[in-house]
Structure 1
C-alpha cells in the first residue's frame, strides 16, 4: 500500500491553495443552512415553532432528525453535543423525554406528514438498546407518517456493535448505516481515544451486509494528531477496500476552549495548516483515482450511488447533516440540540440535556432559538446551495425562478473580480463556475452572496 501512495499527486498545489486561503481568510460558514446558525436568535421560541408546525399541510413531505445525546466513551476529538455514561438509566430517561417531545410536536401538526428520511445522529445512537431503537421507530411511524419506503439512517459506533444489534436495526427498519472510523492508524486512534482496529470495522460491514443493509457510509477525519499525508492516504485505501457507498472526509477542528476533552490532545502532534492542505488535497485525489465521485467539499460516493446520481442530475442538496438527496422542505429535529427547518424558518432546541428534559416535562416545546426567513433569504440560499453542491451557479436563472430581474445579484457577481483573477472562479455573464483550484475555496465565493455575514462579520472555522 505504501508504494501506491507515493504515486498520488494532488490536483492542485497545496501551497497555492494555502496562499489563497490566507488571502481570502476562510474563517467562514460551512453553509449547511442560510442564514447560518450564528444568526439564529431567541426571537424564535416555542410559540413561534408551534405556529409554524400548525401551518404545515397534513401529508406534506418531511424528514426527521433524532439526536441521541449520549456515548459510552469520550472521544477526545469530538465536537458534538453529547454526554458520556456507563449506565443505561440516563439514556432511558433521555429517550422518554425525546419521545415526549415527539408527542408535543406531533400534537401541533394538523395531521401526519409524509416522512421519507429519518436520521439518527448523536452522540452514539447505537447506545440505545435494540428494543428501544425499535420502540422509537414504531413511535415515530405512528405520530409522523413515516413512509414504508423511507430511508432510515443510523450513525454507528463499531466498538459497541454486535451481530444481534444489527438484527435489531433491521427489525427497526434501518436501511443505511454510517460508521465513524476517523482513521485506521493505531497511533492516531490512541491519541484521540478512539481505538477500533480495521478488523473490527470490517466485521461490522460484514454483519450489516449479511443482514441486508448494503447502503453503508463511512466518516473519516484529516488533521488529527500524528497524521501525515501518507497515513491519511493509507487510511483512504483501507477504507475503500471495504467498498462503502459514501464517505465523508472532514477536517478536525481543534477548539479546546469550547470542548474540554480536546485539551487531552497534545497540540504538538497536530499537523500544521500546510500539512492539513496536503492531506485534504491528496486524499481527495486518491478518492477520485479509486473511482469515487467527489461531492462538493467533503463527500465522496460510488458512481452508481443515488448521491452521485443526484449530483449529475442537479438535484443534490445540503442540510445540517451535510450533503443529501433529501428534497423535503421540512426537517423536524428532536432531542437536545436538535435542529430543524420548515418553510417559514429554522429552529434549534435547548442544548443542555437537563434543561431540555425539564422543558419537555413541563409540556413545553424545547425550542431555544431560530430565525424566520425572508424571500431574500430564500433566493440567496438557493444560490449558495447550488455553489456548495454543484460548484457552479447560474445566478440569472435562480433570480428568474424567484420572479426577480435577472441582474438582481449582478453586484455580487461583480465582487468576484479578485477571485477570478486568482483562478478560483470562471464567470460567463452571470454564471459562476469553480475551477479545480477553487473547489476548496467555494465558501469564499458563497460569502459574496451572504447578506448576514456582511452585516455582522461573524467569523467561523477555517476551511481546513
Structure 2
C-alpha cells in the first residue's frame, strides 16, 4: 500500500494515550472521599511526582487545548493561590510524609505569571507538606513574555532544574494566526538566562500542522531551535479540537495543512533533529544521547503520563489545582476544571476531586500494553503473563488477531512478543487503540493520529 493510501486508511481520530483509561472515561463515582483513602494507602516504598496547575495566561494562544483562562490582572491569580496552598497542605497530611517526592512540575496556563514571592511560597508549601528527595527534579513551563530578572531569580530560588519553553513556530504569519507572538531572540534570552542560573536542562516544544505553516517555515523554526542546543525537543502535531476548545474556532480551518502535508512536515522535522544528533523517543520526542530521557528509552524505562514522555519512575502522580489529574496505584482522579468552583471546593475541604476511575486488573494490563507500544513500539508477552497470569491470554490473542488480519505491514509477531514495523511506528496511536477496551463506547472525541 502506498504511503498516501496508508495515511488515508489509518489517520483517523484516536487518543494520545497519556493515560489508560483515557480521561473521557473518568466518572463521578470517584470523589474526594475515595481520593483521601487512596492517599492514605500510599506507603514508604512509594515515590511521588507532584504537578501544580496554574490556570491563567496573560494572553490566550488560540492553538492551546489546555485548561486555562485569560487575565491581565493579578488579583485572580492571588485569589487562586489560597485554596491551592490549602490543597497542598491537605494532601500532604493524608500522605503523612511516608512517600518521597522525586519530581515536581509547574504547568499551565503560564506558571511564570506568578510573582517570584508566590512561586517561592508554593514551593515552600510543598516542601513543608511532603518529604523531598535530595535530587528532586523541578521543571517549570515558561512563557518568555512573562519573564524578568526577579522571576528568573525566584525560579532559581525554588531549585528549578529543568526549563520547558513553548515555541510552536517562529514564523510571524503563523504566530499572528495562532496569537502567539514570541521572537527567536526572546526565546534565546530565556535559555541563556536559566542556564546562567544553573539550570541543567532546557526543553523546547515545536508544533507542526499549524495554520499557514509550510515545510520551509517549519524547517526554519527547527534550525533556530537546534541552534539553542536544547536537551530535549517535543515535536507535537497541532490538535484541532474546536468542539472542546471554542477559541480554536478563531483559527481558519482552510489554512490548516491536510493529513499528507502534516505527515510531510513531521517527517522533515524529525529527520532534521536526528541529523542534528538527537535520538528519536517514542512518537514525538527527541533528546540528546546523554539526556535521561534518551537513556530511559534505550533501557526500557521510558514512561508516558499526562505530560507526555518521561523518565519519571514515581509510583504516584499527585495533581494540584483546577483540572489537574492524579495517577495513583488505585486509579486516576481529576480536580474540578472550573477555576471558581475548584477554589470553593478546595477552600472548604482542602480537596477538589470530581471524577476519576478505579483501575481493574484488565485496565492495568491494557495500560501496560498500550504504554509499551507508545514507548517501545512493542510489548513482550512474558512480562504480561507474569504480571497478569489470569488475563494475559486475552490481550495476546488480540495481538495475534490484529497481526493476522493486518495486511498492510504495520506489525510483526512471534512467540516472544508483538512489534511495530518501521511503517507502523508513525501510526503507534492507531495500533495502541486496538487494545483499548473503552474506545468503542462513544465517549470522547479525539485529534487525528498523524
1:290, 1:25 → 2: CA distance?
A: 28
Equivalent position SS for 2:427? helix
Which residue is 1:278 aligned to? Answer: 264
TM-score, normalisation: structure 1: 0.93
Which residue is 2:195 aligned to? Answer: 209
Structure 1 residues 224-239: aligned runs within 5 Å: 224-239=210-225
1:21, 1:341 → 2: CA distance?
A: 33
> For residues 276-314 of structure 1, what are the alpha-carbon distances to aligned partners after superposition, in whole Å with 9 as ceiling and x for unaligned?
111112111221122111111111111110100010011
Question: Which is worse superposed, 17-26 or 328-337?
Answer: 17-26
Tell me how many residue pairs correspond in the alignment: 450
Q: Tell me, which stretches of 5 or more residues in structure 2 are unaligned? A: none
2:404, 2:3 → 1: CA distance?
A: 15
Which residue is 1:50 aligned to? Answer: 36
Equivalent position SS for 2:135? strand
Query: 1:410 Cα shift?
Result: 2.9
Equivalent position SS for 1:22? helix
Query: 1:235 Cα shift?
Result: 1.0
Which residue is 1:437 aligned to? Answer: 423
Query: 1:19 Cα shift?
Result: 2.5
Which residue is 2:237 aligned to? Answer: 251
Aligned counterpart for 1:314 among listed residues 277, 300, 305: 300
Q: Does 1:425 align with 2:411?
A: yes
Equivalent position SS for 1:100? helix
Asked whether the equivalents of residues 396 and 406 of structure 1 are also in contact (C-alpha less than 8 Å), the reply is: no
Aligned counterpart for 1:193 among listed residues 179, 189, 212: 179
2:174, 2:421 → 1: CA distance?
A: 33
Aligned counterpart for 2:66 among listed residues 77, 80, 84: 80
Which residue is 1:9 aligned to? Answer: none
Equivalent position SS for 1:219? strand
> For residues 329-386 of structure 1, what are the alpha-carbon distances to aligned partners after superposition, in whole Å with 9 as ceiling and x for unaligned?
1111000001011110000000000100111122252001000001121122111111
Which residue is 1:152 aligned to? Answer: 138
Question: Which is worse superposed, 16-25 or 59-68?
Answer: 16-25
What root-mean-square deviation, in Å, do the aligned CA atoms of Structure 1 and Structure 2 show?
Answer: 1.8
Equivalent position SS for 2:6? helix
2:239, 2:430 → 1: CA distance?
A: 19
Query: 1:400 Cα shift?
Result: 2.0
> For residues 12-55 of structure 1, what are the alpha-carbon distances to aligned partners after superposition, in whole Å with 9 as ceiling and x for unaligned?
xxx94452243235311111111111111100011111111111
Question: Which is worse superposed, 233-242 or 405-414?
Answer: 405-414
2:263, 2:237 → 1: CA distance?
A: 10
Which residue is 2:153 aligned to? Answer: 167
Q: Does 1:399 align with 2:388?
A: no
Which residue is 1:370 aligned to? Answer: 356
1:261, 1:452 → 2: CA distance?
A: 29
Q: Does 1:340 align with 2:340?
A: no
Asked whether the equivalents of residues 179 and 218 of structure 1 are also in contact (C-alpha less than 8 Å), the reply is: yes
Asked whether the equivalents of residues 89 and 125 of structure 2 are also in contact (C-alpha less than 8 Å), the reply is: no
2:432, 2:412 → 1: CA distance?
A: 14
1:460, 1:216 → 2: CA distance?
A: 30
Query: 1:234 Cα shift?
Result: 1.7
Asked whether the equivalents of residues 420 and 426 of structure 1 are also in contact (C-alpha less than 8 Å), the reply is: no
Query: 1:162 Cα shift?
Result: 2.0
Asked whether the equivalents of residues 58 and 110 of structure 1 are also in contact (C-alpha less than 8 Å), the reply is: no
Structure 1 pair 458–75 and aligned structure 2 pair: CA distance change class (3 A): closer
Asked whether the equivalents of residues 62 and 329 of structure 1 are also in contact (C-alpha less than 8 Å), the reply is: yes
Structure 1 pair 346–436 and aligned structure 2 pair: CA distance change class (3 A): same
Structure 1 residues 255-270: aligned runs within 5 Å: 255-270=241-256
2:295, 2:189 → 1: CA distance?
A: 29
Aligned counterpart for 1:296 among listed residues 275, 278, 282: 282
Which residue is 1:410 aligned to? Answer: 396
Asked whether the equivalents of residues 24 and 443 of structure 2 are also in contact (C-alpha less than 8 Å), the reply is: no
Structure 1 pair 390–380 and aligned structure 2 pair: CA distance change class (3 A): same
Question: Which is worse superposed, 88-97 or 397-406?
Answer: 397-406
Query: 1:419 Cα shift?
Result: 6.7
Equivalent position SS for 1:416? helix
Question: Which is worse superposed, 397-406 or 86-95?
Answer: 397-406
Query: 1:205 Cα shift?
Result: 0.8
> For residues 414-434 of structure 1, what are the alpha-carbon distances to aligned partners after superposition, in whole Å with 9 as ceiling and x for unaligned?
222367521211212351111
TM-score, normalisation: structure 2: 0.96
Equivalent position SS for 2:243? coil
1:190, 1:452 → 2: CA distance?
A: 39
